[in-house]
Amino acid sequence: MDKWNSDNLTRQAMLCAAIAMAHQVASKATRDALFLGAFPSSDLPRIVIAGAAASLALGWAFSRLLSAFGPRRVVPAGFVLSALVQALAWRFQPEFPKLVAAGMYLHLVAFGAVLLSGFWSMSSELFDARTAKLRFGRIAGAGTAGGIAGGIMAERVAAWFPQEFSLLMLAMLHLAAAAGLVVLRRAPGAVRPAEPEAVPAREVFRQAPYLRYLAGLVLLGTASAAVLDYLFKVGAAETFGRGANLLRFFAIFYTCAQILTFLTQTFLTRPALEKLGLSRTVATLPVAVGLGGMAALSFPVFGAYALARGLEQILRGSLFRSGYELFYNPVPAAEKRSAKTLIDVGCDRMGDALGAGVVQLFLLLGPSLVRSEALGVTIGFAVAALWLAMRLDKAYSLILERSLVSRAEELDLLTGGDADGMPMSMQTITVARPRRSQQERPAPKPEMRAEGDEVLESLRVLRSGDVGRVRSELRRLPPLDGVQAAQVIRLLAWDLVSSDARRVLLESRDRLVGVMVDHLTDPDEDFAVRRRLPRILAHCDNPRAVMGLLLGLQDARFEVRFNCGRSLDAVKQRNPETEIPEEAVHAILERELSASRTIWESYRLLDRREAGEEYEFLDDNLRERANQSMEHVFSLLALVLPREPLKIAFQALHTDDRMLRGLAREYMDTLLPDEVKEKFWTMVEAIPTAEAATPAETLERLVRSSHTLLRKRAGAE
């Protein structure tokens, strides 16, 4: 995505988030003031449980609609419907205050959560994973700023107009949000994938433990917050009475919380995501709830409850929200549509019901228990939520890997093919080929030496400089004498006989590992010998070969290092139990990535690479087109990290599909060691990409790839 489109899309999403959160904050103050003005505070747990039930039903229905029609259609329509309901409530509130108070509590609890979840679901489909990680903090920050405005609006409307006018304001905000979302879904730069087939929610949760962790985290976090919320609201009603004063207090409280949330979002969220990672950033919420619960348990006064509730709201709207939404980005769209609303709304409201149930239980046992034993349960919920949060990092890496493979399959990126079947984006990538004179220039002929015995006679022939005699002698040689081995190794430098010398060395490779390693690691040995020996050592399972190839990774010449890396990869594929020191690989990676970009882009291979050689290339289509420095780096990473996902990521970084590139970048970000991460991404920026393909070009690309695959299958049969 070009920067202008990315910025434009982000700004539009920020505007929508601001309007949606302005409604969210204003609606909290309005619903609480209306309900506590019409009913006693002892009815709060019951209305919370009823709201949870309404949310579950609505969340299930909304999830089915998202799966069937997608968030681009459903979410704006939902905002319009909500606006109509709130306008009707404004009209009839004076005649039926209790009915409207209870109905609006249920509506705002159920619809508010569903629509907010729908907004984030829609946003996660518009941005690729990498862009989302960079931009979602800004979008959430804009939402927080909108929440501040919403709190101020609620307070001023309560001060200037009759209480029911707050409902009219809420209706207007949801209409504005619907209009903004219609513009957002058509904004330039938005990802527009094909509509996926619906996946049943039960099947999604069965196959994805990752989503179960998120569901448990939401449920436990909300349950612990619900107890704090009850204590806070009861204390507020006792302190400020009912009516406009209570509404103004709630508006001021929520506005102050939003201001602190905005400051946290602005100054702490991005550093937290970069330094702590997603799981630890999300874990700040249960930590805060646990600490707030302990503070309220130690000092059971309204100020402590307000402080604990405010801290929970601040971190939920900033660090937790920014990290939590990013966990959904790599989830395939079909699974996300089925599961996200159920988690965001269903599990959230089940948490509300659980927390309210705890409060109701202790109210029945004795009201005094709510301020002590219930807070102990809250702390227990927070500890369990913290345990779940700390398990998310590994699960996130796995879902990135699965989504990367899934997206590559959608684009037919995993099928082989010749140049005709190559994705169009890959066909545009070219790297300068070595000049003919570099490829075919023969090395100087070895000097002649005449000796008497059979071995020396063989050496004399091998050093004669006569192509025919040398080839004939090489066909006769095996098994090699140790003295002859050194001469045959040197013949690798002579292009006209190097293939014959290579064959001889391969036949005796297990006996000659030591001498080949000695020649490979000798800086004074001919460069052609050093760059061709690794391809022979790739067939050796001797630990000395592995150590020699690791030493070869420190050679001054890039092609030697490149072939050593690819050969180690071949050994590792053949024998997965081969141990390769991770620390040594990281040190080599750091040294490779420390080169300047000019040098990094200038690396070329002199020897041609042919299919069917001793090691499998990371991508046959990119064999002579990919950035060879990048292929070398990925070969090194494959020694210590899962190879197949890395192979797909390597291919993805050379395509023009923004969603696939974003997934690859985010996946690599979770795997790379910290000491090389910044240098790696600096070098990745050098990889050329094609112009974005139009839908017609994409279709043509897939058809051509399919035809190539069919031709290959027909030939095989």
- pLDDT single digits (tens) 542-556: 889 999 999 999 998
- pLDDT single digits (tens) 46-57: 887 887 788 778
- pLDDT single digits (tens) 330-381: 777 667 766 777 787 778 778 888 888 888 888 887 766 667 788 888 899 9
Q: What are phi and psi of 134, to 5 degrees?
A: -80, -30
Cα–Cα distance for residue pair 463/553, rounded to 1 Å = 30
**Tokens, residue 547:** 């150590």
Most confident of 208-212, 310-314, 643-647: 310-314
What pLDDT is attached to residue 552?
Answer: 92
SS3 of 464-505: CCCHHHHHHHHHHCCCCCHHHHHHHHHHCCCCCCHHHHHHHH
Instruction: Using pLDDT thresholds of 50, 70 and 90, give the confidence band for residue 714.
Output: very low
CATH superfamily ID and name for 3-188+213-390:
MFS general substrate transporter like domains (1.20.1250.20)
- pLDDT single digits (tens) 592-606: 888 776 776 667 777
Give the 3-state secondary structure of residue 508: coil
What pLDDT is attached to residue 577?
Answer: 85
Structural domain boundaries in the chain: 3-188+213-390
Instruction: Using pLDDT thresholds of 50, 70 and 90, give the confidence band for residue 34.
Output: confident
**DSSP calls for 112-171:** HHHHHHHHHHHHHHHS-HHHHHHHHHHHHHHHHHHHHHHHHHHHHHHHHS-TTHHHHHHH
Cα–Cα distance for residue pair 399/401, rounded to 1 Å = 5
- pLDDT single digits (tens) 188-246: 555 555 555 555 656 666 666 778 888 889 889 888 888 888 888 888 888 887 666 77
346 vs 52, 108, 109, 341, 354, CA distance in Å?
Answer: 8, 15, 11, 7, 12
Instruction: Using pLDDT thresholds of 50, 70 and 90, give the confidence band for residue 560.
Output: very high
- pLDDT single digits (tens) 70-111: 778 888 888 898 889 888 888 887 888 888 888 888 888 877
Which residues have a Cβ under 8 Å from the Cβ of 659 and sit 6 or more positions away?
128, 129, 191, 193, 407
Q: Is the pLDDT of residue 685 over 70?
A: no
Question: Which single residue is written with the structure tokens 């108070």?
Answer: 101
Cα–Cα distance for residue pair 318/302, rounded to 1 Å = 24
**Long-range pairs, 371-378, Cβ under 8 A, ≥24:** 371/231, 371/296, 371/300, 372/297, 372/300, 374/227, 375/227, 375/231, 375/293, 375/296, 375/297, 376/293, 376/297, 377/227, 378/223, 378/224, 378/227, 378/228, 378/289, 378/293
Cis geometry, peptide bond prior to residue 479 (ω within 30 degrees of 0): yes
513 or 128, higher pLDDT:
513
120 or 503, higher pLDDT:
503
Instruction: Using pLDDT thresholds of 50, 70 and 90, give the confidence band for residue 383.
Output: very high
What pLDDT is attached to residue 121?
Answer: 77
Under a CB-based contact definition with an 8 Å cutoff, are residues 269 and 136 in contact?
no
Under a CB-based contact definition with an 8 Å cutoff, are residues 481 and 516 in contact?
no
- pLDDT single digits (tens) 455-473: 778 778 888 888 888 888 8
Q: What percent of the chain has pLDDT over 70?
A: 78
Which residues have a Cβ under 8 Å from the Cβ of 309 and sit 6 or more positions away?
225, 228, 229, 231, 232, 292
Instruction: Using pLDDT thresholds of 50, 70 and 90, give the confidence band for residue 410.
Output: low
Other beta carbons within 10 angstroms of residue 192's beta carbon come to 12
* Amino acid letter, residue 95: E
- pLDDT single digits (tens) 412-447: 554 443 333 333 333 333 333 334 344 444 444 444
Q: Is the pLDDT of residue 613 over 50?
A: yes
DSSP 615: S
- Mean local confidence (pLDDT), 638-646: 82
Q: What is the pTM of this model?
A: 0.55
Q: Identify the burial level of 420 via C-beta atoms within 10 angstroms of its C-beta, where 0-12 means exposed, 13-18 middle and 19 or more buried.
A: exposed
